Amino acid sequence: MAVMEVRKKHCWERAEADMWQENSFVAFGGDVSPQPTERATLDREHYCGKATMQKEFDTVWTKAWLIAGIERDLEEPGDFITFDIAHESILITRTEDGGLSAVYNVCQHRGNRLHIQPYGSVARAHTCPYHGWSYGLDGTLLNVPDRDRFSPGVDCAAKSLKSVNVGTSNGLIWVNLAVDPLPLEDFLGSLVGELMPYRLEAMHVVREQTCELDANWKTVIDNFAEVYHVDFIHAQHASFVNCRDARVDLFPYGHTVFRVDGYVVNPRYPVPDEPPPILSGALQALGLDPGDFHGRVDEIRRAAQVQKRKLGARAGFDYSALTDDQVSDIWQYNLFPNTIMTVKPEEVWIMRQRPHPTDPQKCFFDKITLAMPVRQSDDETSLVLIGDVEAAKAMKSGQRPEREVFTQADVTNGSMSMTETVDQDIFYLPYMQAGMNSAGFDEAVLSDDENRIRHFHDWLATWMAGQIPRPS
Ligand code: FES
Ligand SMILES: [Fe+2]
């Protein structure tokens, strides 16, 4: 459905809010303040400039921990993924001892990429397709064809693949290109524990998409850092989430979270007597009768929490460590610098922005959908709990889905979709970018309800100034 049609269909008169988003600074428990020390200027250079792009590479992309992939993709020795960031490519492999090796995806002979596919598996070695140099799973140079033709000889130890830092947390693989990085556990702090009940490590990839966007990576992050736009471009949300009273926590290093109540109507609008169509559909999916909620729309969230716990147990989903809020609500973590993670107990979206290698006004928008495994014998209960039903059904085949790569035009012409909501965002992002690249644009002006944007950019400025604190 086109963006404007959605708006017309769902929009009704909007009142001024009598409550507002709550914003709180939250420390990780150590002595690192959640407050950044620098202040960013959100101007044309910040979003469009090549100098800013280069500085971000030097101070952020090569200094911060980045999500490179999903640990489940590397179950067996020889399984590998590649992760491209700006002009670099990193190769991560499960080694024979069960560990992980992360190296630059660069052959030491004359620099060819060892792998160009996003994931795969090798038996014992990575072999460069150009002249056949081969490297062990840990990156050690093993074999050089016609080795005696290299007159001075080849020192295998010196010509092994160049390693980078790698770590795991919450089922995700993280890499860091710095020589002496901030430890991953300090970088993530209490977020590791917050995410633990969702058990990402038990989930499977059910869909993976990359959209090539005509927008700076930060333009996309900003879009997913505020709900000020939701009533306007996602009018359908007013009938199933409460964005007005979102709770926001602002963490050290630039991470943030939104906690948005689900299974409710937005209280900016009159509460209807009957559940609106989207909530009715959600109730029916949970096996509840919307007719039972006549005049009781404000009781739906609690009913959904109770019913989801029942259905979850039947589907084999373990909700025991989740609070009731986590069962019904949509929490969205923005993990500095480039990942937006929307978490629900059955399904997680990892939306990662990667900068283009040369053009600051382009980026790659990856969306990886993880879902709890569906049992072969299941009676479809688990499928209704997982939002992306088609993808979850495909999971039953046991095949990991291939990465779909497409452009913004493919989304706007309807041939590809990243869900109705994300498609609506994608429609606007290139226009935001074009506007910020105009002589008619001075600097972004932010409301208190856009504090996540301010927090992210001020921490970005702090990283760019090389002022990253470490816990003592
Ligand atoms: S560039 Fe890899 S073997 Fe020659
Ligand atoms: Fe949006």
| Proximal ligand: closest to the CA of 108 | 1
Query: What's the rounded Cα separation, in Å, for the pair 392 and 284?
Result: 19
Q: Is the ipTM of this complex over 0.95?
A: yes
Taking residues 303-315, report their average pLDDT: 89
Report how far ligand 2's centroid is from the alpha carbon of 30 (Å). 33
Looking at per-residue pLDDT, the higher value among 153 and 43 belongs to 43
Report how far ligand 1's centroid is from the alpha carbon of 286 (Å). 56
47-55, long-range: CB < 8 A, 24+ apart = 47/216, 47/218, 47/219, 47/360, 47/433, 47/436, 47/437, 48/216, 48/360, 48/361, 48/433, 48/436, 48/437, 49/360, 50/360, 52/360, 53/355, 53/360, 55/464
Report how far ligand 2's centroid is from the alpha carbon of 336 (Å). 19
| Proximal ligand: closest to the CA of 429 | 2
Report how far ligand 2's centroid is from the alpha carbon of 67 (Å). 22
DSSP 60: I
Q: C-alpha 442: how far from its chain's center? A: 29
Q: C-alpha 376: how far from its chain's center? A: 28
Q: Does position 179 have pLDDT exceeding 70, yes or no?
A: yes
The pLDDT score that the predictor gives to residue 302 is: 96
The residue nearest atom 4 of ligand 1, judged by CA position, is 131
Mutate to test the pocket of ligand 1, among 112, 141, 159 (most ligand atoms within 8 A of CB): 112
* Lowest-pLDDT range of 167-176, 189-198, 264-273, 289-298: 264-273
The pLDDT score that the predictor gives to residue 9 is: 44
Report how far ligand 1's centroid is from the alpha carbon of 448 (Å). 54
Beta-carbon contacts of residue 369 (< 8 Å; ≥ 6 apart): 205, 206, 207, 208, 347, 348, 349, 350, 388, 391
User: Using 50, 70 and 90 to split pLDDT, how confident is the model at 20?
Assistant: low
Taking residues 133-150, report their average pLDDT: 96
Q: Does position 270 have pLDDT exceeding 90, yes or no?
A: no
Q: Does position 404 have pLDDT exceeding 60, yes or no?
A: yes
The pLDDT score that the predictor gives to residue 314 is: 80
- The dihedral over CA atoms of 106, 107, 110, 116, expressed in degrees to the nearest 10, equals -60
DSSP 168: E
Mean pLDDT of the chain: 91
Report how far ligand 2's centroid is from the alpha carbon of 220 (Å). 10
User: Using 50, 70 and 90 to split pLDDT, how confident is the model at 22?
Assistant: confident
User: Using 50, 70 and 90 to split pLDDT, how confident is the model at 175?
Assistant: very high
* Helix orientation angle between 300-315 and 277-285, rounded to the nearest 10 degrees: 30
Q: Does position 13 have pLDDT exceeding 80, yes or no?
A: no
> Residue 198, class by beta-carbon neighbours within 10 Å (0-12 exposed, 13-18 middle, 19+ buried)?
buried
Q: Does position 74 have pLDDT exceeding 90, yes or no?
A: yes
Q: Which residues line ligand 1 (CB under 6 A)?
A: 107, 109-110, 112, 128, 130-133
**Ligand 1 closest atom vs CA 145:** 3
Which residue segments constitute the domains of the chain, with CATH numbers given? 3-35+197-464 (3.90.380.10), 66-181 (2.102.10.10)
Mutate to test the pocket of ligand 1, among 89, 103, 106, 107 (most ligand atoms within 8 A of CB): 107
Q: Does position 1 have pLDDT exceeding 50, yes or no?
A: no
**Ligand 1 closest atom vs CA 133:** 3
The pLDDT score that the predictor gives to residue 311 is: 86
Taking residues 367-371, report their average pLDDT: 95
* Lowest-pLDDT range of 99-108, 143-152, 167-176: 143-152
Tokens of 431: 């226009």
SS (H, E, C) 341-400: EEECCCEEEEEEEEECCCCCCCEEEEEEEEECCCCCCCCCHHHHHCCCHHHHHHHCCCCC
